[in-house]
Structure 1
């Protein structure tokens, strides 16, 4: 046996171990890749380029060297670098804590995983210590994230730049402070890291430290000149600590020997921390004590000028028109009413943080969800509408937060319908879902769709494909809400007035004539698998009792209101094509489409008819309808012309050309 084989054998054993870390689905393909590398290496007279090609090949988005560096297999990496001359800068995709990192160089993988010996090997081989992933993260930042101090020190000593930030503007110091890695933060500060540098959203290392709750690091930052700056939401590190509930950070900042905050900032911090005690810790007594301290600061006993609460704060119906107490006695009175304490927390948070801060709407939605769990659905909807209105007023079109709020409404209505279909649990009676419940949410969803369409029509620089994707998600939510309304038409108690209002509401969706991803219309989406799916392919909300992803009642209603059954998407599919791709195919939807003019023999751009699509999934059109009933003489003639490739231009009237083409 040649020496080359003996060189490879011990490496191969470790290689197989490496492959097992990468997932069983990739194991067989990666073994095959290794065998090819071995074969080419032992017969190098064939082609040195082929070995380079195999060593650089990607399986599951990762090269052999990336896989070895991610999983800490030093011998494999050494063999690939020194014997196979692998490209030490070729990036790949790796997974850490369930998150896929795209474009990660081998050095980044080794640093992130904490493999110091591999880091040394790669640097010795000439790897760029400042190479980055697609999100502009360096190996040094990756090591700072998980607290690998020895790797951080080694990289810095070999030229790593401590000030390179990722795409969000987060530096190595910021991430070390956020993750609470004291030793790394101290080391970076000793290198004169820029302590007051701001990220894209305006936060500093002091903000990150206050959010994570590390008092030791906070003191180090202040000792190196950190200042109390505000981020893009107007948040100071003091308020950041109050929002996250880190009492020890708040106390240190407001009681420091040297003045760090103003009196007004101290009052706001105590009041906001009290709101956090109510909603996050459920500590009413602790919250009241903090609010009393803030009240004492507002009206000091030493005769200093008082700082009364603002008088122009509007009373909000969703908060039961709550008014903030103006003295200690009023504070004591609300302690006996837990609901009043909760509303106070929401009022204080909205006043101090403002409607633009994500935490403001988050806690309003959270409180609504608690009410829903208790069966108080009307209060839930009231709070959620207020949160949605705040988001739509301050957030850009198609914001993920707005989508989430709309989705929560759809989820709530589906839950209520499902609960009503079951026997009452412990005497709990769930109220019916009415048109008046669904319609306000549906209208807000359509307004969001309009904003998205205007964004697409504008000349702004946007990621068009991403915008179409998010627009489709909002459309899916709107279609689910429309499904709920279409089902109300089937209820015996549905009045003529409600029926007319439902038709008007759904017509407002149909007349938008929206086009989303792949050029699909609202009817396309309603008839497709996307109609019941969302982010990452997970299920949206199938309607209660439905095994099918599209609702015949909604499709029928949209067709009656003018939605075209002959519309084509970018692949030439009509809604009927998409319905037939479902397994099982919803027969009632097929019948509705055919009854409103869809053609069973229309071909898409792949030359497939709906019947052929059904046959491919072992389903039969004849089991759903009688095909002859929906086949006209014109269709048969067009099919004959097309199948036999008969010349028809200048022979048949121009008005019939489109009929021939579609068949």
Structure 2
């Protein structure tokens, strides 16, 4: 029965839309909508049909779902008989990484390789150059999926092969896995030397993915082999870092590089085989070739830096005897690999730092914690000189080093290690943080503030409070204690605050998340229970930390310490002895004395700590009496905090 009332028609449309969704979801590529459903749809006007099929369920219209499934006849019917909007976007979920993209039906059909659906959509006005939420055109994304027939069709319909996405990636960059596709794009005018946001060209990507034939093709069409990425890598260096030996050999054979570049490339390739592939034989082979090449071309290895203690004062190999002597000592080979990386790439290159961190993690896994600490200290020092303390990789390095210091300290305390953690290692980190904090604080005061920088700053402050605790525990000599107090005093003067306004004292008296870092598995849980910590609290109060400092919620450290989850009587008494107001009110109206009074574990007689002056101030405040300008200025603030 066909209903005609207004509400009935609305319900009928809802019911029919559900039927459309159900049939489209269950459709196979050769399916059509059932005759009964088509009959129901066609009882509505074209305008009503259009409104109905342009509805969205689970982020997609029926047309979008049909395009994704490649149901050609349903796509045609929705466009021609129902006026479906060919540009209405839906949510496409990438199968492997589960990321979501907000795209048009054409984009979706192009990615999944539904060429006939693409034809119909374009015939009905779909824009071939419309971009996704990341700025990617349908043709660029089809290139990534190597859907060459779709790419050829879209280009034939006017798709722009040089339009990049928001990261600068082009069709050609996305096509290096297919030499046929690259040839087609070059023939259609693709910019062979276009760069993305990393300053990489298609040639860089062909090399790093070890696409030998694509590399040869791009070079034959004039790809710039001297172009460098943002990290300073040309294609030869990229090949060596990625272990693309065949490409590196081809580049050396066909391009007239200076002899010293070739020798350095051979050394770097050997280091990559050792670090990435754990192939000792190949590493030694390339290093011997480098020595032979230098001798044949009469070039000396230029070494400008003196030996460094972090590398056990080793010097780079020069002769066959030097290389041969490494063959039976894997640890010496690894040291030489680090020397190669630093000399060829430079100490601040991302791969030099990554390999330092990786080698340190390997030392930690083999219980050589001090070697790990030494390497990671060096990596942190490089990071801080290269980037700010707000940089994500700097934060990771700081967290990793702090974590390994605690791990080594715990193992020594439990008798696993004979050697204690050195105070100087913790002191080193505190000094470095103190040096870079002023500029970081100034940077965070600029607007707009980037959320990632704020998050990293909070992570760094968590590192800092952990380091202060560990330093206080390790400081045994009077000189160490005085130096720690000097550093702590300077930090208190700087007054670094977390995003929520918490001071160092707030952090010391409350629970602080444990440090997390990616370089080795966390087997210890004790670190989670360091805070609230009376040791760090006492030190901060000793150097003048403001016991009345308030965070964004108007809470003082005493408010934080009075929370049931943070309560430790020793800490609360420290704060009270230092002059903390027990009846100060925060923005939620909470007062420490009420919070403590409701805690059965609290043995402090809080009522006895409230002075007559405090009671009077509370009375003025609670009765909403006007007092500004009627009493001394010194009393106005006192009343205000109550």
With structure 2 as the length reference, what TM-score do the two structures score?
Answer: 0.81
> What whole-Å deviation, never above 9, does each CA across 1:136-169 have from its counterpart, x for those lacking one?
3333333333434444344433433221223332
Q: Aligned partners of 2:592, 2:384: CA distance in 1, in Å?
A: 41
Q: Aligned partners of 2:592, 2:130: CA distance in 1, in Å?
A: 51
- The reply on whether 1:445 has 2:454 as its aligned counterpart is no
Q: Aligned partners of 1:101, 1:135: CA distance in 2, in Å?
A: 10
Q: Aligned partners of 2:586, 2:132: CA distance in 1, in Å?
A: 41
Match of 1:621 in 2: 599
Specify whether residues 436 and 74 from structure 1 end up closer, same or farther in structure 2 by C-alpha distance, changes over 3 A only.
farther
Specify whether residues 605 and 388 from structure 1 end up closer, same or farther in structure 2 by C-alpha distance, changes over 3 A only.
same
Match of 1:193 in 2: 190
> What whole-Å deviation, never above 9, does each CA across 1:160-192 have from its counterpart, x for those lacking one?
322122333222211332xx2444334323323
Larger radius of gyration: 2
State the SS of the aligned residue for 1:272. Answer: helix
Q: Aligned partners of 1:516, 1:233: CA distance in 2, in Å?
A: 32
Q: 1:564 aligns with which of 519, 542, 546?
A: 546
Q: Is the 8 A contact 2:434 2:487 kept in 1?
A: no
Q: Is the 8 A contact 1:565 1:575 kept in 2?
A: yes
Q: Aligned partners of 1:439, 1:410: CA distance in 2, in Å?
A: 12
- The reply on whether 1:486 has 2:472 as its aligned counterpart is yes
Which runs of structure 2 are paired with 1:448-487 in the superposition (5 Å)? 448-456=436-444, 463-487=449-473
Which runs of structure 2 are paired with 1:387-402 in the superposition (5 Å)? 387-402=379-394
Q: CA deviation at 1:206?
A: 0.9
Q: Aligned partners of 1:534, 1:84: CA distance in 2, in Å?
A: 54
Q: Is the 8 A contact 2:86 2:104 kept in 1?
A: no
Match of 1:282 in 2: 278
Q: CA deviation at 1:129?
A: 3.5
Match of 1:372 in 2: 364
| Structure 1 range deviating more: 473-482 or 115-124 | 115-124
Specify whether residues 396 and 147 from structure 1 end up closer, same or farther in structure 2 by C-alpha distance, changes over 3 A only.
farther
Q: Aligned partners of 1:598, 1:219: CA distance in 2, in Å?
A: 73
> What whole-Å deviation, never above 9, does each CA across 1:245-267 have from its counterpart, x for those lacking one?
111211222234xx454433322
Q: Is the 8 A contact 1:162 1:188 kept in 2?
A: yes
Match of 2:6 in 1: none
Which runs of structure 2 are paired with 1:90-489 in the superposition (5 Å)? 97-98=96-97, 100=99, 108=107, 111-112=110-111, 123=122, 126-133=125-132, 135-177=134-176, 180-231=177-228, 232-256=230-254, 259=255, 261-300=257-296, 305-422=297-414, 424=416, 429=417, 431-456=419-444, 463-488=449-474
Q: 2:485 aligns with which of 498, 503, 511?
A: 503
Structure 2: 5+ residue stretches without partners: 3-11, 28-40
State the SS of the aligned residue for 1:281. Answer: coil
Q: CA deviation at 1:361?
A: 1.1
| Structure 1 range deviating more: 515-524 or 338-347 | 515-524
State the SS of the aligned residue for 1:514. Answer: coil
Specify whether residues 74 and 628 from structure 1 end up closer, same or farther in structure 2 by C-alpha distance, changes over 3 A only.
farther
Q: 1:512 aligns with which of 489, 494, 506?
A: 494
Q: Is the 8 A contact 2:203 2:235 kept in 1?
A: yes
Q: CA deviation at 1:328?
A: 2.0
Q: Is the 8 A contact 1:528 1:582 kept in 2?
A: no
| Structure 1 range deviating more: 97-106 or 379-388 | 97-106
| Structure 1 range deviating more: 400-409 or 326-335 | 326-335
- The reply on whether 1:598 has 2:580 as its aligned counterpart is yes
> What whole-Å deviation, never above 9, does each CA across 1:266-304 have from its counterpart, x for those lacking one?
22221110111221222222212111212222122xxxx
Q: Is the 8 A contact 1:442 1:478 kept in 2?
A: yes
Q: CA deviation at 1:381?
A: 2.0
Q: CA deviation at 1:363?
A: 0.9
Q: Aligned partners of 2:340, 2:546: CA distance in 1, in Å?
A: 51
Q: Aligned partners of 1:662, 1:56: CA distance in 2, in Å?
A: 53
Match of 2:36 in 1: none
Q: Aligned partners of 2:343, 2:555: CA distance in 1, in Å?
A: 51
Specify whether residues 593 and 98 from structure 1 end up closer, same or farther in structure 2 by C-alpha distance, changes over 3 A only.
farther
Q: Aligned partners of 1:327, 1:603: CA distance in 2, in Å?
A: 74
Q: Aligned partners of 2:397, 2:535: CA distance in 1, in Å?
A: 25
- The reply on whether 1:643 has 2:635 as its aligned counterpart is no
Q: Is the 8 A contact 1:163 1:171 kept in 2?
A: yes
Specify whether residues 526 and 84 from structure 1 end up closer, same or farther in structure 2 by C-alpha distance, changes over 3 A only.
farther
Q: 2:612 aligns with which of 633, 644, 648?
A: 633
Q: CA deviation at 1:14?
A: 6.4
Q: Is the 8 A contact 1:572 1:604 kept in 2?
A: yes
Q: Is the 8 A contact 1:411 1:541 kept in 2?
A: no
Specify whether residues 496 and 167 from structure 1 end up closer, same or farther in structure 2 by C-alpha distance, changes over 3 A only.
same
Q: Aligned partners of 2:490, 2:465: CA distance in 1, in Å?
A: 12
Q: Aligned partners of 1:376, 1:226: CA distance in 2, in Å?
A: 46
Q: CA deviation at 1:16?
A: 8.8
Q: Aligned partners of 2:639, 2:108: CA distance in 1, in Å?
A: 57
Q: CA deviation at 1:474?
A: 1.7
Q: Aligned partners of 1:201, 1:92: CA distance in 2, in Å?
A: 28
State the SS of the aligned residue for 1:172. Answer: coil
Q: Aligned partners of 2:485, 2:235: CA distance in 1, in Å?
A: 52
Q: Aligned partners of 1:389, 1:442: CA distance in 2, in Å?
A: 12
Q: CA deviation at 1:423?
A: 6.2
Match of 1:33 in 2: none
- Counting matched residue pairs gives 612
| Structure 1 range deviating more: 461-470 or 596-605 | 461-470
Q: Aligned partners of 2:389, 2:428: CA distance in 1, in Å?
A: 18
Q: Aligned partners of 1:400, 1:133: CA distance in 2, in Å?
A: 28
Q: CA deviation at 1:611?
A: 6.9
Specify whether residues 267 and 548 from structure 1 end up closer, same or farther in structure 2 by C-alpha distance, changes over 3 A only.
closer
Q: CA deviation at 1:203?
A: 1.9
CA RMSD of aligned residues (A): 4.2
Q: CA deviation at 1:600?
A: 4.0
Q: Is the 8 A contact 2:162 2:170 kept in 1?
A: yes
Specify whether residues 638 and 280 from structure 1 end up closer, same or farther in structure 2 by C-alpha distance, changes over 3 A only.
same
> What whole-Å deviation, never above 9, does each CA across 1:461-493 have from its counterpart, x for those lacking one?
87454433332222221112112223446xxxx
Q: Aligned partners of 2:568, 2:242: CA distance in 1, in Å?
A: 49
Specify whether residues 603 and 651 from structure 1 end up closer, same or farther in structure 2 by C-alpha distance, changes over 3 A only.
same
Q: Aligned partners of 2:378, 2:335: CA distance in 1, in Å?
A: 13
- The reply on whether 1:661 has 2:640 as its aligned counterpart is yes
Specify whether residues 77 and 582 from structure 1 end up closer, same or farther in structure 2 by C-alpha distance, changes over 3 A only.
farther
Q: Aligned partners of 2:473, 2:83: CA distance in 1, in Å?
A: 65
| Structure 1 range deviating more: 91-100 or 341-350 | 91-100
Structure 1: 5+ residue stretches without partners: 19-40
Q: Is the 8 A contact 1:207 1:237 kept in 2?
A: yes
